[in-house]
């Protein structure tokens, strides 16, 4: 198109726009704009001249009202979104609370798992401090989110974790020995020693491999949910992430896609206040994460993440809605990361030690749930010390075993990525083997060639 034609066309468009300007926003029938190029439903305004409150525009998404005042939406709501809880800090049910009942056996099983998770984290953390494994990440303070959410799901639901959700895998039956094998990168590790410790994954348990690239699991979960829906499976996808994960673009893309495609996925955000050393106040100014769900058209709830019964009830309801109504649900679980971010971090460098202590002592989700089961007569001091002693012994045993098992063979480094490995990979493998042969003294003895 020549410059002259372009100018002519733009002038025509401008003239058209000017002459129809009022019509675009007018509700009068006398001056109906010529909207032949638009979908007729789009700008179908009502005709009543007054009062303005009766005037609506049928815009994509539904009818909306016209108002005469120039009103900006406030950047914050007058009232923050409230937080659903069942048990108070003392493990006492709140008056009038609405929750899913659990049997004695089930509640005790949940508690056993929370204590197992806590003990495993303590022992593996110590193993890293002793130099026996290279890395570890604890769930301290977030045991209820891990175990109670897992307890509310079905085994067919597919889990897309971040990296602080080992309790979900524990609940699904991954054994303490399997956890230790992964952390010690021995030949029984599902990942064949090719991932950092605490990067678990298990096909058998419908638990996708942990990838520490924050939030990449979110769009994966949405895609998987959409495929579950297309296959008419009685299951949903469930993805976990932190407040930091919600600051990534993947979170926003995932939420929007899930809303539009009506994918049965549950987004569980562990808002624990910190993304390593970055507090939430430096990440967003919205009322947390829950309001973002609503902004994307996703049904959402804010839950006390340190209350196992509230998490259990909310996740069970979310699952029911996700699967039967084929829709995404967002859960923002409020909690606190009591431990350091990982063994590569010292959180006292960026937050006060007394803040950590307060959450550890006053808001511990495990102690809170214990108070509730004790109050019901389902638990006592003797059961507690037996459980803790037995778990400690088992875990010490598992790490001894895991440590003594040999590492995966060197060839495993080169397998599983390509169907037909390319020539440069063959070349690298050959060179590595030659180097090991030449310098056997610097090569670990527990790795077979």
Ligand X SMILES: Cc1ncc(C[n+]2csc(CCOP(=O)(O)OP(=O)(O)O)c2C)c(N)n1
Helix (H) / strand (E) containing 271: strand 265-271
Q: Judge if the upstream peptide bond of residue 31 is cis by omega within 30 degrees of 0.
A: no
Residue 121 CA to residue 391 CA, distance in Å, equals 12
Rounded to the nearest 5 degrees, what angle is found at the Cα of 136, between the Cα atoms of 124 and 341? 125
Q: Which range of residues in 51-59, 199-207, 274-282, 427-435 is near ligand X by CB under 6 A?
A: 274-282
Residues 58-77 that bind ligand X (CB under 6 A): none
Pick the closer one to ligand X by CB: 195 or 398: 195
Work out whether 276 is an interface residue with ligand X (CB under 6 A).
yes
CB of 217 to ligand X, least distance (A): 11
Of 302, 294, 285, 229, the C-alpha closest to 83 is: 302
Sign of the torsion formed by the C-alpha atoms of 154, 160, 166 and 170: positive
Residue 322 CA to residue 345 CA, distance in Å, equals 37
Residue 332 CA to residue 81 CA, distance in Å, equals 11
Spatial contact of 163 and 173, defined as CB atoms under 8 Å apart: no
Greatest Cα pair distance, the chain, in angstroms, is 93
Pick the closer one to ligand X by CB: 103 or 213: 213
Work out whether 220 is an interface residue with ligand X (CB under 6 A).
no
From residue 113 to residue 152, the character string flagging contacts with ligand X as x (rule: CB under 6 A) and all else as - is ----------------------------------------
Pick the closer one to ligand X by CB: 104 or 346: 346
Catalytic residue (one of 185, 202, 246, 342): 342
Question: What tokens were used for 173?
Answer: 């039956």
Q: Which of 2, 4, 213, 423 binds ligand X (CB under 6 A)?
A: 213
Residue 171 CA to residue 109 CA, distance in Å, equals 9
Q: Is 74 an active-site residue?
A: no
* 145 CB-contact burial (10 Å; exposed 0-12 / middle 13-18 / buried 19+): buried
Q: Is 202 an active-site residue?
A: no
Q: Is 53 an active-site residue?
A: no
Residues 243-272 that bind ligand X (CB under 6 A): 243-245, 270, 272
Count of residues binding ligand X (CB under 6 A)?
16
Neighbours of 138 (CB within 10 A): 25
Question: What tokens were used for 50?
Answer: 């007054």
Q: Which of 243, 250, 307, 332 binds Mg ion (CB under 5 A)?
A: 243
Q: Is 342 an active-site residue?
A: yes
Neighbours of 439 (CB within 10 A): 9
Select from Mg ion, ligand X, none the partner in contact with residue 341, using the beta carbon and a kind-dependent cut-off of 5 to 8 Å: ligand X
Residues 151-180 that bind ligand X (CB under 6 A): 164
Residues 112-141 that bind Mg ion (CB under 5 A): none
Work out whether 272 is an interface residue with Mg ion (CB under 5 A).
yes
Catalytic residue (one of 199, 205, 220, 341): 341
CB of 241 to ligand X, least distance (A): 6
Q: Which residues of the shown chain bind ligand X in the complex (CB under 6 A)?
A: 164, 212-214, 241-245, 270, 272, 274-276, 337, 341
Catalytic residue positions? 126, 212, 341-342
């Amino acid at each position: 198109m020549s410059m002259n034609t372009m100018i002519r066309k733009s002038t025509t468009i401008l003239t058209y726009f000017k002459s129809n300007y009022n019509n675009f926003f007018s509700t009068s029938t006398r001056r109906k704009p010529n909207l032949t190029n638009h979908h007729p439903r789009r700008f179908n305004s009502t005709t009543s001249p007054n009062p303005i409150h009766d005037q609506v525009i049928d815009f994509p998404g539904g009818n909306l009202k016209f108002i005469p005042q120039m009103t900006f939406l406030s950047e914050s709501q007058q009232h923050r979104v409230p937080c659903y809880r069942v048990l108070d800090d003392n493990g006492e049910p709140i008056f009038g609370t609405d929750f899913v009942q659990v049997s004695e056996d089930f509640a005790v099983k949940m508690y056993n798992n929370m204590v197992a998770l806590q003990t495993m984290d303590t022992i593996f953390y110590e193993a890293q401090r002793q130099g026996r494994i290279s890395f570890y990440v604890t769930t301290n303070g977030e045991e209820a989110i891990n175990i109670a959410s897992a307890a509310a799901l079905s085994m067919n639901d597919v889990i897309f974790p971040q990296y602080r959700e080992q309790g979900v895998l524990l609940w699904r039956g991954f054994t303490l020995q399997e956890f230790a094998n992964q952390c010690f990168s021995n030949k029984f590790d599902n990942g064949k020693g090719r991932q950092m410790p605490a990067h678990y994954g298990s096909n058998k348990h419908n638990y996708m491999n942990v990838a520490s690239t924050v939030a990449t699991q979110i769009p994966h979960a949405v895609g998987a949910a959409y495929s579950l829906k297309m296959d008419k499976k009685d299951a949903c996808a469930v993805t976990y992430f932190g407040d930091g994960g919600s600051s990534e673009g993947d979170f926003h893309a995932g939420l929007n896609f899930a809303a539009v495609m009506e994918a049965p996925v549950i987004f569980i955000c562990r808002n624990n206040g910190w993304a390593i050393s970055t507090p939430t106040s430096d990440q967003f100014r919205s009322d947390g994460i829950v309001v973002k769900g609503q902004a994307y058209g996703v049904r959402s709830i804010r839950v006390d993440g340190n209350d196992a019964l509230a998490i259990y009830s909310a996740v069970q309801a979310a699952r029911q809605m996700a699967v039967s109504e084929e829709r995404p649900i967002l859960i923002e679980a409020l909690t606190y990361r009591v431990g350091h971010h990982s063994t590569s971090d010292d959180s006292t460098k960026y937050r006060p030690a007394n803040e950590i202590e307060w959450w550890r002592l006053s808001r511990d989700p495990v102690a809170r749930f214990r108070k509730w089961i004790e109050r019901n007569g389902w638990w006592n001091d003797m059961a507690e010390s037996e459980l803790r002693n037995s778990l400690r012994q088992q875990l010490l045993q598992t790490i001894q075993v895991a440590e003594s098992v040999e590492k995966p063979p060197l060839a495993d480094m080169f397998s599983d990525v390509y169907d037909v490995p390319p020539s440069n990979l063959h070349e690298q493998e050959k060179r590595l083997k030659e180097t090991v042969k030449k310098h056997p003294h610097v090569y670990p003895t527990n790795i077979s060639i």
